[in-house]
Structure 1
Amino acid sequence: MSKVIVVGDALVSSSTLEKAAHQLSIEKPIEVTKYEWNSNVSKHEFRRYIKLIETNGPENVDIPQGILEDLQTADYLLVHYAPVSKEMIENAAQLKLVGTCRGGIEHVNIQACKEKEIPVIHVIRNAEPVADFTIGLMYAETRNIARAHHNIMKGKWVNEFANDSYKTTLSNMKVGILGLGNISKLVVKRLNAMDVEVLAYSKHANAAQLKSDGLKVSMVDFETLFSESDIVSLHARVTPKNMNLVNKNVINLMKPSSYLINTARPELINRKDLIDALQNHRIAGAALDVFWEEPIDSNDELLKLENVTLTSHIGGDTVDAIPNSPYLLRDAINDYLKNGVSDMLVSFR
């Protein structure tokens, strides 16, 4: 028999997680115990809990009541955004695996899992939607789509913009990709289909594997990525080493005609340095779907700029991607259990 604990939330139901758990290739019968983490709040309110756990980690939020006792005899733990804290892992005497049906792992105490040698499997549950959205932001910012709409809605017919002297088609631009994970590879695939030249920087990318995957991308060093790209799109994880990675020194490498796109994490960018660069037109513009404070303050300096496109953290928000993510997790776990390796296995490095 296998005991699986699942924890649902406002975005992914415990019932869907339960169904996925019963389809795991593990010892039968499968006993599933369900818990909830802020499942009773609205999706809008739940974004506050998302920001809280992404910023502060699993040790600074409440865990489901009663879960510690159940974890003592659990074999598998499946969550979406719910915390997997050090205390939870320490109470899990026989836990074989932790699975989370999202790409980010800020809500999991990875060090605690490492110390107990418990593998962690995650999935990019909204890779396709975010990749689509990233391309959309490139068009929206470089061609002033959102700005033109905004002005028309205010009764203004505006057809002159701050980037007029730089405007060109996407096919005439070089797009630089920072980080080559699941989402960014899909971005590259889309850019390849449009005959857009792609540069990329990643410490862990395998050039041979990229070629095998049919992706056309020129690997460059970090400085070259920012100095030669017309558009730089961020797709890296946030670690203590790369917080504020894109600061004034990096931005000063960029062309005055270049753009910065961020659908990843706000902490990759030094906020003050970006705003300063936009105010002084050291770069042509930026498009952001993630912010240092969400919702954005009504007095935020970003709202006063004419060369930004801002969206309310909706890049991965489609009707099917997030609610059905437990089935992606099921497939990733089964693949790992069958082969002993997986691209979705979180590295403990």
Structure 2
Amino acid sequence: MSDKIKLALSAELLPDDMKKIKEKYDVKILPWTGSDYLPTKEDIISECIDNEVVLIYTDPMPKECIDVLSKNGLKLLGCARATPNNIDWKAAKDNNIPIIHAPGRNAHTVAEYTVGMLLAICKRIGFSYHGLMDGRFLADEKDIYDVPERKDVIWRFKDRENPRSSYPWSIDVYDRTIGLVGLGAIGQNVALICKGMGMNVIAYDPYQSDEIFSKLDVKKAEDYREMLPECDFVSVHLNVTEDTRSMINDEWFDLMRIDAYFINTARAAVVDQKALIEALENKKIAFAAIDVMWDEPAPKNHPLLKMDNVLITPHMGGISSDVKKWASQMVTDELMRYANKEKNIRLWTRLE
């Protein structure tokens, strides 16, 4: 009989990490691993029961599952995400089941995506791409190799709509000011990238230490009411809590400049949906770039999808092959700590 710890696993680990894990664990790969299948409560219970450790990715782990599994040997839950929203945190605590996770696993990825969205709206990349693909800015079909000699090549029509006049002219980010709402791991990486592009960075985060502000050379805003009128761009980097839910409301958009750009790659719930829609419809702000919606997948009739001053992507900010690497390394480290009876350091402690 094996003395290895029984582990039910749906998080994808790197080969080297898996090899290390198997030295200490009897690993059961859950059947939906690596697929888009969303397991039911019955799936979770039947496949994970009698395992001391369960490490998942986006699989739902509600109270009903935790209650049953904890009575059948479960002692540790793990989630290969920064925020284990798919786990009922309170149920885990009530059953004395600690949760390990991968904080900051996507900090670089989301930061790069945020700046990418910023540049996309500043340079009208998404808008002009769609105009091109819709055929608005294309000439009639011809032999593509029959190219006339021209000294100056400009994408322009004499008697038709032209791309240069179809959208507001682009702007540079250099020497402009971005205000970060939240200066955690992602916000800090956004600050570093923006500073590297010659931008001025302000941040509002009453919970972050002065040391971090100083280290990053980021101006600290004591009050968001003072920060917002200074900003060309406002980028959100908040977790959803009772305090932050719908925190960004009419007041925020009223304080922003009419030429300001709003970027949200965090969570839609921190923004008042109606307030953002009205701010864009009424031109209180100029543009918005959004990677997260209040209900996902977003419904076809959502008004933001019809606006020409909004760039929307389907929650892709944290999707990167490198994120898997960081997450794999973090949760593997925690699993080895548990197996070696060492104290876990990446423990989820929030209950709301």
- State the TM-score bracket (shorter-chain normalisation): 0.7 to 0.9
Correspondence for 1:160:
165
Q: 1:76-116: CA deviations, max 9, x gaps?
A: 32111112322333342565432211122211111123334
The structural deviation recorded for 1:281 is 0.8
Residue 172 and residue 163 in structure 1: after superposition, are their counterparts in 2 closer, same or farther (change >3 A)? farther
User: What letter is aligned with 1:83?
Assistant: P
The answer to whether the 8 Å contact 2:110/2:186 transfers is: yes
Correspondence for 1:56:
none
Equivalent of 1:264 in 263, 266, 286: 266
Q: 1:49-70: CA deviations, max 9, x gaps?
A: 5xxx9xxxxxx96552414631
Q: 1:20-60: CA deviations, max 9, x gaps?
A: 46635x9x74222332457554xxxx5xx5xxx9xxxxxx9
Alpha-carbon distance between aligned partners in 1 of 2:342 and 2:97, rounded to the nearest angstrom: 17
Q: 1:311-345: CA deviations, max 9, x gaps?
A: 22222223443377323322355579898474x43
Alpha-carbon distance between aligned partners in 2 of 1:62 and 1:222, rounded to the nearest angstrom: 46
Alpha-carbon distance between aligned partners in 2 of 1:192 and 1:331, rounded to the nearest angstrom: 33
Alpha-carbon distance between aligned partners in 2 of 1:133 and 1:185, rounded to the nearest angstrom: 14
Alignment of 1:30-179 (within 5 A): 30-37=25-32, 40-41=35-36, 63-67=43-47, 69-71=49-51, 74=52, 76-90=53-67, 91-92=69-70, 95-123=74-102, 124-153=104-133, 154-156=135-137, 157-160=162-165, 163-164=168-169, 168-179=171-182
SS in 2 for 1:70: coil
Residue 235 and residue 39 in structure 1: after superposition, are their counterparts in 2 closer, same or farther (change >3 A)? same
SS in 1 for 2:174: helix
Residue 209 and residue 120 in structure 1: after superposition, are their counterparts in 2 closer, same or farther (change >3 A)? farther
The answer to whether the 8 Å contact 2:124/2:167 transfers is: no
TM-score after normalising by structure 1: 0.79
Alignment of 1:225-304 (within 5 A): 225-304=227-306
The structural deviation recorded for 1:198 is 1.3
Residue 247 and residue 64 in structure 1: after superposition, are their counterparts in 2 closer, same or farther (change >3 A)? same
SS in 2 for 1:64: helix
TM-score after normalising by structure 2: 0.78
The answer to whether the 8 Å contact 2:179/2:234 transfers is: yes
The answer to whether the 8 Å contact 1:7/1:82 transfers is: no
Q: What is the CA RMSD across the aligned residues, in angstroms?
A: 3.1
The answer to whether the 8 Å contact 1:162/1:284 transfers is: no
SS in 1 for 2:165: coil
The structural deviation recorded for 1:203 is 3.8
Alpha-carbon distance between aligned partners in 2 of 1:334 and 1:207, rounded to the nearest angstrom: 34
Q: Does 1:23 align with 2:20?
A: yes
Alpha-carbon distance between aligned partners in 2 of 1:339 and 1:176, rounded to the nearest angstrom: 41
Gap regions ≥5 residues in structure 2: 138-161
The structural deviation recorded for 1:2 is 4.8
Correspondence for 2:196:
193
The answer to whether the 8 Å contact 1:7/1:36 transfers is: no
Correspondence for 1:217:
218
SS in 2 for 1:5: strand
User: What letter is aligned with 2:201?
Assistant: V
Alpha-carbon distance between aligned partners in 1 of 2:227 and 2:4, rounded to the nearest angstrom: 48
Q: 1:4-23: CA deviations, max 9, x gaps?
A: 43332xxx44xx38974663
Alpha-carbon distance between aligned partners in 1 of 2:112 and 2:35, rounded to the nearest angstrom: 30
Return the index of the structure with the highest Cα Rg.
2
The answer to whether the 8 Å contact 1:286/1:307 transfers is: yes
Alpha-carbon distance between aligned partners in 2 of 1:242 and 1:88, rounded to the nearest angstrom: 29
Residue 111 and residue 248 in structure 1: after superposition, are their counterparts in 2 closer, same or farther (change >3 A)? same
Alpha-carbon distance between aligned partners in 2 of 1:202 and 1:22, rounded to the nearest angstrom: 41
Residue 242 and residue 134 in structure 1: after superposition, are their counterparts in 2 closer, same or farther (change >3 A)? same
Equivalent of 2:184 in 172, 181, 184: 181
Residue 255 and residue 311 in structure 1: after superposition, are their counterparts in 2 closer, same or farther (change >3 A)? same
Q: 1:211-255: CA deviations, max 9, x gaps?
A: 4xx422222123334332221111111123322222212211111
The answer to whether the 8 Å contact 2:50/2:74 transfers is: no
Q: 1:172-231: CA deviations, max 9, x gaps?
A: 2211112222222211121122232211122431222454xx422222123334332221
| Percentage identity across paired residues of the two chains | 28
